[in-house]
């Protein structure tokens, strides 16, 4: 690798496939975060998961020996109302397809949850979605409500295998309305911009650390971030070599990344 890790002052870190796989925390995680703390490298954990908020993620991180705080975590459930407040402040009423975390995050942002006459239709993963919800959402979008997707992940990895993700619900509404949504989560730009606001760093001194080419690497590269792929999750080295946006760095795991980064000090 011709580039150096030395200039990096901050990381945006994906979780599934980077810190853990399912319920199993990956090796070297606690040591890696101790390294970040020792060298004062800022970080934000970014997740497309719209069924969890920052506080529940922090609880799991602390269980893995990582002393994170809620300000170090940005899920699409929290990012969506934050983006709406910043960029679309006139949207005050939302019809929601989503679970408790998303509904609570929108309510905490003083966005009223309604059944009709919504300013926006906000869609995340909803494991209790039904035809009535889809019908109501489609009618609201066709009436002129802004269509906002927390993320467009088509699948959700589970112990049973790949199951439908939020993107599957979004796709149904696109088919029913012929309207493309504003997307908040990776690989769309809003998630990265919100995370950079938290780190207070420029794209040139910040890297996205992830395991997926399509969301983590491609999205980050498009906004000018450095990119680090670890091979503990979805994407492989062979796939990375063929990808349009080749990662700036590829490591087998967090331990290998930490060892290479340590050599720059």
Q: What are phi and psi of 159, to 5 degrees?
A: -60, -25
CA terminus-to-terminus distance, the chain = 17
Name the residues annotated as catalytic.
14, 16
Distances (CA, A) of 176 to 18, 39, 114, 136: 36, 50, 21, 11
């Amino acid at each position: 690798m011709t580039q150096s890790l030395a200039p990096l002052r901050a990381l945006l870190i994906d979780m599934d496939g980077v810190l853990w796989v399912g319920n199993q925390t990956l090796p070297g995680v606690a040591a890696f975060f101790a390294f970040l703390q020792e060298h004062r490298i800022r970080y934000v954990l970014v997740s497309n998961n719209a069924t969890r908020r920052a506080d529940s993620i922090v609880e799991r991180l602390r269980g893995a020996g990582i002393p994170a705080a809620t300000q170090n975590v940005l899920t699409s459930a929290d990012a969506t109302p934050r983006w709406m407040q910043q960029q679309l402040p006139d949207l005050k009423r939302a019809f929601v397809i989503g679970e408790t975390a998303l509904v609570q995050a929108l309510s905490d942002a003083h966005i009223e949850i309604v059944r009709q006459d919504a300013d926006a239709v906000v869609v995340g993963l909803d494991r209790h979605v039904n035809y009535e919800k889809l019908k109501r959402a489609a009618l609201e979008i066709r009436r002129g409500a802004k269509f906002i997707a927390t993320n467009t992940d088509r699948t959700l990895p589970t112990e049973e295998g790949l199951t439908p993700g939020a993107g599957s619900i979004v796709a149904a509404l696109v088919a029913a309305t012929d309207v493309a949504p504003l997307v908040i989560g990776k690989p769309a730009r809003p998630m990265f911009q919100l995370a950079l606001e938290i780190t207070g760093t420029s794209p040139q001194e910040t890297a996205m650390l992830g395991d997926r080419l399509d969301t983590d690497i491609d999205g980050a590269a498009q906004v000018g971030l450095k990119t680090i792929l670890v091979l503990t999750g979805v994407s492989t080295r062979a796939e990375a070599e063929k990808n349009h946006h080749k990662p700036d760095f590829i490591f087998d795991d967090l331990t290998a990344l930490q060892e290479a980064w340590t050599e720059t000090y």
